[in-house]
Amino acid sequence: MKYLLLYAALLLIVMLLYIGRRRRVQRAHATELQQAIEGGMAEPPSLHPVIDPVLCLGSSSCVRACPEEALGIVKGKAVLKNAAACIGHGACAAACPVEAITLVFGTERRGIDIPYVKPDFETNVPGIFIAGELGGMGLIRKAAEQGKQAIATIARRGRGGMDYDVVIIGAGPAGIAGGLAAIEKKMRYALLEQEESLGGAVYHYPRNKIAMTAPLDLPLIGKVRFSEVSKEKLLEFWHGVIHRTRLRVRVGEQMERIERSGDGFVVSTQHRSYRCGAVLLAIGRRGTPRKLEVPGEELSKVVYRLIDPEQYRDQHVLVVGGGDSAVEAALACAEHSPHVALSYRGAAFSRIKQKTRQALDSGVADGRLKLLLNSNVQAIESDSVVLDVNGSKLRLRNEAVIVSAGGVLPFDLLKSIGIDFETKHGTT
Ligand SMILES: Cc1cc2nc3c(=O)[nH]c(=O)nc-3n(C[C@H](O)[C@H](O)[C@H](O)COP(=O)(O)OP(=O)(O)OC[C@H]3O[C@@H](n4cnc5c(N)ncnc54)[C@H](O)[C@@H]3O)c2cc1C
Ligand code: SF4
């Protein structure tokens, strides 16, 4: 009897500890969700889970399965507490024991434009194909698989009388796999990449981010078994592939126009035009960096991405933008220089993570960073920048400008050549 009571007491203690912990975790998840809503960060970027609260048992299997910590449990049910972090793996849906999770595109408030793509990856415009995230489905393995399959379809169609059988636009996983398939099939190809480096979205992951990917089956390379791999190792792998296969990536070439020409197309970049029989759009969903469209923007000191904050040591730097990446870039530069200013046209940062906001507030409070709200850059000169701040003109000494104002997807261009899109508001 004595032992029975002892076991019962121990069991009760364990249960109370468990319940206490579960309550604390749920409170923390509820706070995170509330902060996301208040910060205007509750809209997922693309494919994301919708949880049926009637079916959900609150088992937490989806929370454990999500590698991005996007899900949580609030009031005993799973919720997308950090929607901005969701990248649409679908690992949560696969882990749910009662099939309470459906993966959908867009929300009631924010529609997502998905181009019409046939199962062989051709759009409704014959000869123009789409692979990878632009078609709606993220993930490294899927993008690579689609790039490879799209090229297989183009190769089956045979050669036209143009200079290139195919022009592939974008050197992320979809474009690289497409390029390898084009070499394997002995096609005349051009692979264009707007940035100075390949890798696509992976190149922009936070430093040391661990990517999770199922095995890739790449033309000329074969099966590659990654499960968890750091961003740096993944980029190293892509560079190794390029070296081994001699895949030619034409970096720094941004597709600006696609026009019909006879049986094919002419793809124009800022440098030249390519006449081709088919086009594979593997441009992902990050878009082309938004420009300020102000005099002086063409100066070489203006960049659209922070690569190495160390390079701005002791320099007078202006960062422009109102999102997480702008604030993070300004804070990173401020670690190396006491002359960093952040310009944002809004009156407050309404769409940044709580953690970023706290870091910004302390950076401004202790004088590491100068914050210019309600400000617009008017001109960039060789050793200064001119801003309008609350209606007054301000000239700042300047050696570097980092514009971090998001990306523009070329949907108008794609629509103008006849590609149809469907706007999804929470459908599969
Ligand atoms: C933070 C984050 C974490 C992620 N983690 C994972 C993960 O762990 N596992 C996973 O499987 N997936 C992950 N993903 C998703 C994955 O990175 C993408 O689904 C994948 O990179 C899509 O490949 P893609 O080739 O379609 O497009 P992208 O990788 O976006 O590549 C498109 C390329 O096209 C170029 N381009 C665009 N426009 C033009 C133009 N006009 N002219 C020339 N070039 C152009 C771009 O510069 C870019 O290099 C993550 C995504 C993010 C944002
Ligand atoms: S789709 Fe992926 S990233 Fe999004 S919540 Fe599910 S497991 Fe997490």
Residue 9, pLDDT above cutoff 90: no
Q: What per-residue confidence (pLDDT) applies to 159?
A: 66
- Closest ligand to C-alpha of residue 81 is 2
Mean pLDDT of the chain: 91
Q: What per-residue confidence (pLDDT) applies to 270?
A: 93
Whose Cα sits closest to atom 45 in ligand 1?
A: 170
Q: Which atom of ligand 2 is nearest to the CA of 85?
A: 3
Q: Which atom of ligand 2 is nearest to the CA of 44?
A: 4
* 201 C-beta closer than 6 A to ligand 1: yes
| Pick from 281, 275, 280: nearest CA to 260 | 275
Residues 149-203: tens digit of each pLDDT: 999 999 998 767 789 999 999 999 999 999 999 999 999 999 999 998 888 888 8
Whose Cα sits closest to atom 1 in ligand 2?
A: 88
Q: What per-residue confidence (pLDDT) applies to 254?
A: 93
Calculate mean pLDDT across residues 397-423: 92
CA distances from 265 to 135, 211, 258, 277 (A): 21, 36, 7, 6
> 167: Cβ–Cβ under 8 A, 6 or more apart, which residues?
189, 190, 192, 265, 267, 274, 276, 278, 279, 280
Q: What per-residue confidence (pLDDT) applies to 108?
A: 85
- Closest ligand to C-alpha of residue 68 is 2
- Closest ligand to C-alpha of residue 139 is 1
Distance CA 299, CA 98 (A): 57
Instruction: Give the distance (Å) from ligand 1 centre to CA of residue 89.
Output: 14
The terminus-to-terminus CA distance of the chain in angstroms comes to 58
Could you tell me which residue, 428 or 236, shows the higher pLDDT?
236
Instruction: Give the distance (Å) from ligand 1 centre to CA of residue 140.
Output: 8
Instruction: Give the distance (Å) from ligand 2 centre to CA of residue 67.
Output: 7
Whose Cα sits closest to atom 15 in ligand 1?
A: 139
pLDDT above 70 covers what percent of the chain?
Answer: 100
* 200 C-beta closer than 6 A to ligand 1: yes
Q: Which atom of ligand 1 is nearest to the CA of 410?
A: 41
Dig out the tokens for 310 from the structure: 């160390």
CA distances from 98 to 47, 75, 76, 105, 310 (A): 20, 18, 15, 21, 50
* 88 C-beta closer than 6 A to ligand 2: yes
Residue 207, pLDDT above cutoff 80: no
Residue 204, pLDDT above cutoff 70: yes
- Ligand 1 pocket test, pick from 286, 304, 325, 417 with the greatest ligand atom count within 8 Å of Cβ, gives 286
Instruction: Give the distance (Å) from ligand 2 centre to CA of residue 7.
Output: 40
Whole-structure pTM value: 0.85
- Ligand 2 pocket test, pick from 60, 66, 101, 107 with the greatest ligand atom count within 8 Å of Cβ, gives 66
* 86 C-beta closer than 6 A to ligand 2: yes
Q: Which atom of ligand 1 is nearest to the CA of 285?
A: 30
* 286 C-beta closer than 6 A to ligand 1: yes
Q: What per-residue confidence (pLDDT) applies to 369?
A: 95
Residues 50-90: tens digit of each pLDDT: 999 999 999 999 999 998 889 999 999 999 998 888 888 88
- Closest ligand to C-alpha of residue 131 is 1
Instruction: Give the distance (Å) from ligand 1 centre to CA of residue 312.
Output: 27
